[in-house]
Structure 1
Amino acid sequence: MSKIGIDIVDMERLTPQMVDRIRMRVFSKSEISEMEALRNPRRRIEYFAGRFAAKEAFFKALGIGIFNAYLDQVEVLADENGKPVIKVSNSVKNTYLNEYGNFLVSISHDGHYAVAVVLLEK
C-alpha cells in the first residue's frame, strides 16, 4: 500500500527575517547550504516554502504531525538534475518507515503559493 501527503504554504506570510530565524529548527545543514547559495531573497523564500511544504506532506503521508518528529532529520535536497529528493535519518527510518523504502516528492510554486506532494511506496 502507498501513502500520500500534500501541503501548501502561502509565501506572502513569510518574510526573509522569519525564514532566517526559523531555518535552523527545520532544515539540515545541507538544506541551509542550498538555501544560502541563493542570492535572491524571494528565491530563498520560495526554497524555504517548498521544502517546508514537502516536509509537512511527508509527515502527513505518515499520518503524524510535524511536531512529533525532528524536521531537520528529513531532508529535501536537489539531485544532480535539480529534482527534489527526500533523505531521512536512520532514526526516522527505523521509527516510522519500516515498510516504506521509496519516497517521491513534487514541489511546485505558483503566485504566492508553494505546494508539495509526497508519495511513500513499499
Structure 2
Amino acid sequence: MIVGTGIDIVEISRFRLAKKKWGRNFIQKIFTEGEIEYSKKRRFQDQHFAARFAAKEAVLKAFGDKLSSIRNWQDIEVLNDKSGRPYIKFHRSAKELKAKEKIKDVVVSMAHCREHAVANAILISEDRKQKTEDR
C-alpha cells in the first residue's frame, strides 16, 4: 500500500552556488562516497548531484512529519541498479525510520535538464490495510 509520496525540484544554479560557497564540505556532508563517485563520472555532474539531492528531499517529504527522525543526509543514499534504475538505500537513522514505519519499498524517479532537477518518491508499506487514523 502507498503510505507516502514526495516530490522535489532543485534549481541547478542554486545548487552550484551552494557548492561554490561551501566547497567540498557541502558535497561530503550531503552525499555518500558512492553517490559522489557516480556523479563525478558523469558529463553533467551538477545535474546528477542535484537530482540525487532532490531524491533525498522527496524521500523526506514522503515520510511527512517524521523529518526530524533522519539525522544525516547520507542516511538516505541514491544508487542505481545495473540497468540504471535509481533506488534508495537506507542507513542508520533512515533505516530505523523505515523499519518503524514498516516501509517495504521506495519507488523513486529522477530527471534533470540544464536548469532543473526533479525527483519523486513513493513509500510502499508492508501493511495492506489503510491507516485511516493517520488521515
For the residues of structure 2 that align with 1:33 and 1:58, how far apart are their CA atoms? 21
Q: Is the 8 A contact 1:59 1:65 kept in 2?
A: yes
For the residues of structure 2 that align with 1:23 and 1:90, how far apart are their CA atoms? 19
The alpha carbon displacement at 1:90 in A equals 4.6
Pairing 1:34–2:38 present: yes
Q: Is the 8 A contact 1:62 1:96 kept in 2?
A: no
Q: Is the 8 A contact 2:7 2:121 kept in 1?
A: yes
For the residues of structure 1 that align with 2:73 and 2:96, how far apart are their CA atoms? 15
What is the percentage of aligned positions where both structures have the same residue? Answer: 33
The alpha carbon displacement at 1:17 in A equals 3.1
The alpha carbon displacement at 1:97 in A equals 3.8
Does the C-alpha gap of structure 1 residues 24 and 84 become closer, same or farther in structure 2, counting only changes over 3 Å? same
Q: Which residue of 2 aligns with 1:58?
A: 59
Pairing 1:77–2:94 present: no
Does the C-alpha gap of structure 1 residues 82 and 13 become closer, same or farther in structure 2, counting only changes over 3 Å? same
User: Tell me, what secondary structure is at the counterpart of 1:5?
Assistant: strand
For the residues of structure 1 that align with 2:76 and 2:104, how far apart are their CA atoms? 14
Q: Which residue of 1 aligns with 2:128?
A: none
RMSD of aligned C-alpha atoms? 2.1
- Name stretches of at least 5 consecutive residues in structure 1 with no aligned partner: none
Q: Which residue of 2 aligns with 1:118?
A: 121
For the residues of structure 1 that align with 2:5 and 2:79, how far apart are their CA atoms? 19
Aligned partner letter, 1:30: G
- Name stretches of at least 5 consecutive residues in structure 2 with no aligned partner: 126-135
The alpha carbon displacement at 1:93 in A equals 1.9
For the residues of structure 2 that align with 1:121 and 1:111, how far apart are their CA atoms? 31
Pairing 1:24–2:25 present: no
Aligned partner letter, 2:38: E
User: Tell me, what secondary structure is at the counterpart of 1:95?
Assistant: helix
Higher Cα radius of gyration: 2
For the residues of structure 1 that align with 2:56 and 2:79, how far apart are their CA atoms? 11
Pairing 1:47–2:48 present: yes
User: Tell me, what secondary structure is at the counterpart of 2:84?
Assistant: coil
Q: Which residue of 2 aligns with 1:102?
A: 105
Number of residue pairs matched by the alignment? 119
Does the C-alpha gap of structure 1 residues 90 and 20 become closer, same or farther in structure 2, counting only changes over 3 Å? closer
